[in-house]
Structure 1
Amino acid sequence: MQEPSAAIIKAWGRLIRAERTVVGRIEAELKSAGFPSLHWYDVLLELKRGPDGRLTPREIEAAVLFEQYNLSRLLDRMEAEGLVRRIPFPGDKRRQLVEITEAGRSLQERMWPVYGGAISRFFGEKLGEKEAGQLSGLLLKLLQAENT
C-alpha cells in the first residue's frame, strides 16, 4: 500500500474540519432559533419525500445524511413529540413503516428558512457556482469510490 501524499493528507484534514465546522454552525443556527437538531430535519425531509410520507426504517437509514446508529432512539423521540408515527407494514406484521405526521411536515417547513439560510451563509457565500459544481463533482468521485 502506498502512503498518502502530503497533499492528500492536507485535503483529507480540511474536508473533515470543514464538515465539522459548517455543520456545527448550522446546528447552532437551528438551536438559536428554537429548533431541534439537523438530524430531525433530515429524517422529516426524507419521510416527506417518501411515497405517501412513509419509509421503512432501513430506507430512512439509507437516505439520511448522518450516522444511523442512533436512528431508532431518534425515531422514538420524534414519535413522542408527535412528528412521526410507526405503522404496520402492509402484509408483514414483523416490519413497520415510519410515517410523517402533519406536525412533522409543519416543523420541517418551519425549519427550512433557518437551515437554508445557514447553508447559504456558511457554505454558498464562500463558493461561486462554478466552484460549487467542481466541489460537487469531486465529492461525487469519493462517494462513487465506496461502491468499488
Structure 2
Amino acid sequence: MDTAAYRTHIDAFQTLMDASAHLADIRLTEDTWTLKEMVAHLVDSAANNHQRFVRLQLEPVLVFPKYDAEEWRNVTGIGPFGYADVLALWKSYNLFLLHLIESVNPAALCHVWRREDGDITLEALIRDYFVHMELHRKLFAERAAEIRAVEGKA
C-alpha cells in the first residue's frame, strides 16, 4: 500500500482545512453541514475505521454496526468544540491510521467485513477509506467556496 500517497492526501486536506478556519462555523442553510461538522464526520470515519482496521486483522469475517452520519452528527454536537481541536484530532487520528496501515498483517488483507451490500476485504476497505477522504476533500472545498461567495456578497 502506498502510504506516502495517503500521507500526501492527509497533508493536502489539512492545508485546505487550515485555510478555511475562519469559515468553520458558518451554516449556509439549516440542512447543510458546517465545515467543522464535515471535519467531525471525518473524525467519526477515522474512529469507525480504526476499529475495522484492527478487528479485521484479528478475525477473518466480521459484521460491524451500521453508521448513520446524521445521527452521529446530532449526538456529537460538535458546535461548541473548537475547530482547531477538531482539526488536530482529525490529523492525529489519520497519522495513527497510517501507522496501523503500514504495520498491517499482509495475511489479514483478505479478511472481510460482511455487509448487507456485499463483503469488502480489509485491503479494499483501506483503499476506500482514502477514496472517501478525497470525496470529502472535494465537498469541503466546494462548501468553503460557497461560503466565501455568500460572505463576499454580504
TM-score band (shorter)?
under 0.3
The structure number with the bigger radius of gyration is 1
Greater fraction of residues in strand: 1
- TM-score norm. by structure 2 comes to 0.27
- TM-score norm. by structure 1 comes to 0.27
